Amino acid sequence: MKKNLIYLLLFASVAIHAQKNIYESDKFDALSSEHEVLAIIPFLTNLELKDQISKTELKALEKKEGYAVQDALEVYFSRIKKKKKFSVEFQNIKNTNAILTKNDIDYDNIDVYTIKELCKILEVDGIISGNLDMNILLSKGIPDGFSFIDYLMGDSNYGRIGMKISDGASGKLLWKYEKEINKKSGKNTNDLIDGMMKSATRKFPYEREKAKNRKND
């Protein structure tokens, strides 16, 4: 009985923590009612590695990690849409990156463009973007094993990932989800995104069943 109570309290704590990490605009329905296609762009990455490397190498690694998250998100949505019904489509990231390249936009300068500008260039209704702050290379995998000493010393956390959805017409933030990255986050980028989205799936705003329930409230 006591064990069941402990598990229940632990589950409740995790659920509450997950909800605190999710933001949804109270104007989401009004601003997204005409949304049909979203584009996923590379995540802006900040790496603080223990290894001593040059600034050029660091920039190259940050770029690689940013594109890896973009790719992992597309893989996730492609797989999950067979089970979940979304009210929007997701632009193929190869097309997204090709259009950006044709307009002289790449990882190094994409942050100087507004959401409105990017949506107009990509001809989409909204943008999925985000930030990745890490002290390891996620694409190479999270170290194996869990040590309680690591936890006490603060070495079990590897960073944080934040994903957001913005409206193309207004440029306003519609939805945001943040998650801490640790040894339980998975072995690589795909695992991280899979776990992250599973935690947020009931709150993902474009899931049709969720939208239906919200309108009935």
Q: How confident is the model at residue 210 (pLDDT cuts 50, 70, 90)?
A: low
Burial class (CB in 10 A: 0-12, 13-18, 19+), 8: exposed
What ranges do the domains of the chain cover?
A: 2-216
pLDDT in tens, 102-136: 999 999 999 999 999 999 999 999 999 999 888 87
Which residue reads 């009931």 in tokens? 202
How much of the chain exceeds pLDDT 70, in percent?
69
Beta bridge partners of 164: 129, 176
Average pLDDT over the chain, rounded to whole? 78
Confidence of residue 27 (pLDDT cuts 50, 70, 90): very high
With cut-offs at 50, 70 and 90, classify the pLDDT of residue 202. Answer: low
CA torsion, ordered 151, 154, 157, 161, to nearest 10 deg: 140
CATH number of the domain at 2-216, please?
Answer: 3.40.50.10610
- State pLDDT tens for residues 138-161: 666 555 443 433 433 344 477 888
